[in-house]
Amino acid sequence: MSLDDLRKLHEAAEAERCRSCLDLRSQLDAAVKQAAETEAEIAALRQSASNNTAELEALRGEVRSLRNAVTELKADRAGLQARLTTQAALAPLPVPRRRWDRQRSTNDASAARQVAKRAAELRNNGQQEAALTLLRHTTEVLSPVETATLFRALRHHQQSDLLDNLIHIYGRDHQDQEVMHVTWELHKQGCPDDAGALLQAAIE
């Protein structure tokens, strides 16, 4: 074999080795890319798991808040029932209609305002259903004067959505005589629009 033949064989071997190097480098680049993609997928899965954990904790917190709200609602209702029982036992004797019992009127207004304030707090904390439940159960035991005062207090606390829903529920679920009494009290307290809305809800 001549020197030229050896040189050609060497050049051919070098060329073949270069092609092998290129193939290996290409395979290595592909492997690195795949590893990077896999690592990105793992990171995304970890982030998703972290987000799911945070959402789960948020849901658990919401459940705890709702349970607390239900407990408070039960306590509020029990307190209202106890107060009404006490009021019934200490009910004043009938008096002429033109006389005004200032003490009783003040107590009625105070109780209604407290309920409206509590409902506004629940609504402002994002617990609208709990607030509406409190109002719905409360109006079942309030007098017409208290109910009208409650409506007015909700308007004062800028809880128009709650009040509109409550008016619809009250007009739908209560007897006509109760609705008429509350409507009359609303007119007396300077709330003719709410009185009209209550009558409209009752006849729908």
Q: Quick one: pLDDT at residue 15? A: 59
Q: Quick one: pLDDT at residue 120? A: 84
Q: Quick one: pLDDT at residue 44? A: 82
Q: Quick one: pLDDT at residue 126? A: 82
pLDDT in tens, 78-129: 666 666 555 555 444 444 433 334 444 455 577 778 888 888 888 888 888 8
For residue 131, give the nearest of 171, 169, 185, 173 by alpha carbon: 169
Residue ranges of the chain with per-residue pLDDT less than 50: 90-105
Q: Quick one: pLDDT at residue 94? A: 43
